[in-house]
Structure 1
Amino acid sequence: MFEHEPARPALREARQVWGVGSLLRALADALQARFNPVTVKGEISGFSRAASGHCYFTLKDEQGQLRCAMFRRAAQTGATDLRDGLTVEAQGRLDVYGPRGDLQLIVESVRRAGQGSLYEQFLRLKAELEAEGCFAADRKRPLPAFPTGIGVVTSLDAAALRDVASTLQRRVPHLPVTVFPSPVQGEGAPAALCRALDQAYAHHRATGACDVLLLVRGGGSLEDLWAFNSPLVVRKLVEAPMPVVCGVGHETDFTLADFAADLRAPTPTGAAELCAPAREALLSTLTAFTGRLQQTAWRRLEWQAQRLDRLGQRLGRPAG
């Protein structure tokens, strides 16, 4: 006779039934507690900037992809150079976008991948050179109001040279411009820039020409502009016998050469404009001075003519 197992009591299923929105909020809370803040490295894809100023893109690598949103406040300072194909490190917080149930990264800041160590090096060099007095305000000199010649240190192949040349031709076509060529990027660029600066200094000391010097190149990544962060270049700028205007990169780019120069310009074109007063403005000022001189001369002549008339009248009626 077979023995039957005693009947087991029915198991109660302790299940919680979630609403979709409640579950998504719970997942968002769990992500907040487990991961945030988080830094994610990946390649930008599908970058777009909405009319509101918010930016949207996807970060991807070989194993997956993640939707990202960068709201206007953060995008105003951190999304000036973002584009598809750029590998970046984005810092922010993971969240779940309820209307679609999508996992997304709310990006607070972003930088190109690998720039962290370079930027730290930039800050160390800045502190070191500042302690040496390379950036002291009391060694800054004003630009000559009417330069007699302009020197330019840059690459002969650079678009910056074309921009500077066209600006100077338009504003001061009468001034001689001397170019001291140098590579502006790469391992040998710092030493080459120092040689070009030495040539410009020697030319100025020997001839008195080039009483203002432009150090220029176009925009690029931190790595592209790194030659202008070299201590060799910064210390060489401190030796300059004439005022130096540094116009390296775009308006948002800063290099240590900017701090060592007598004046920083936002772009190469801006550097040319700062040292070259517009020809039309000078001619207008000259015309105004000429008009004032003519009016003064005519008033003087009229006054002398009246005086002569009075003397003539006295001669015609001599006193008894």
Structure 2
Amino acid sequence: MKIFSHNKKIILFVVLLATLTTLALGQGTRVGFYSTSCPRVETIVQNAVQTAVRANPTVAPGILRMFFHDCFVNGCDGSILIDGASSEKTAPPNGNLRGFEVIDAAKTQLETACPGVVSCADILALAARDSVVQTGGVSWSVPLGRRDGRVSQASDAANLPGFNEPINALIRKFSDKGLNTQDLVALSGSHTLGTAACGLFSYRLYNYNNTNAPDPSINPSFLPTLQNLCPNGGDGTRRVAMDSGSVGRFDNTYYAMLRDGRGVLESDAALWNNPATQTLVRRFLGIRGLAGLTFNIEFGRSMVKMGNIEVKSGTQGEIRRVCTATN
């Protein structure tokens, strides 16, 4: 009976993975875009990410977050990668992004293998997927064919979804980009990787909404842990794991943290405290094992949707020679 159950899960996994592959068809992009012009593109990017993540696991959540921040500002055009005194990279929400050197390394190799062909925006999209795979997540087919943007301004990053915004504001910001509430909950699951600075959430621990008391939605048994990690008036740059259940592994334990009142950021906790989003959190929790597959599949689907926000194609934008500067 156990053997049958195990085989059934394997079959379900294969079916779900095949379904995701067929769903990975974006508008303006397509799977296999470089199959003739640069057939080694996915291998080159994958190797660059693999090498970097093995050397420094914090690179994985950094690249994943970088892709999110790129797509939500003027579309997925690699503008987050451009250097400059007032570029997107310098905006406060982007201050702690990491992994830029991985994109640069992949680009250098690709310019040797197939010069002037692969956009930095596509490299970032592939690297985000590979960061998930390297940390235990399920792969998905990435539609490609984006072109790189020529404009990168810090001021444009002001409208990125915030860590302390009300849930309705977050839903609205996602909707403005063509993403629905399920996409919000699924993509928030990326917080199963990475850390948050104390300065982003310590207000929840001591003086929430000027009450001179902690946020009541924080589990009382979890509160001392956070307070010890982030003392009142302490170092706001100290970083705390957003998913203490499985640090560094891409899985669905993040949602268990929300259910148990152990969400670190206010925007995370809000997903459990709102009826509409709580339903989706419960779905991604579900039955042990099966729910993990459901989350992985839906996360990949949402990443494909996000990866097609305001994509530049055809004669729009350019193919940068280096990712840090326009041609």
Q: Name the TM-score, length of structure 1 as normaliser.
A: 0.25
- Where relative contact order (Cα < 8 A, 6+ residues apart) is larger, the structure is 2
Q: Which has the higher strand share?
A: 1
Instruction: Give the structure with higher Rg (CA).
Output: 1
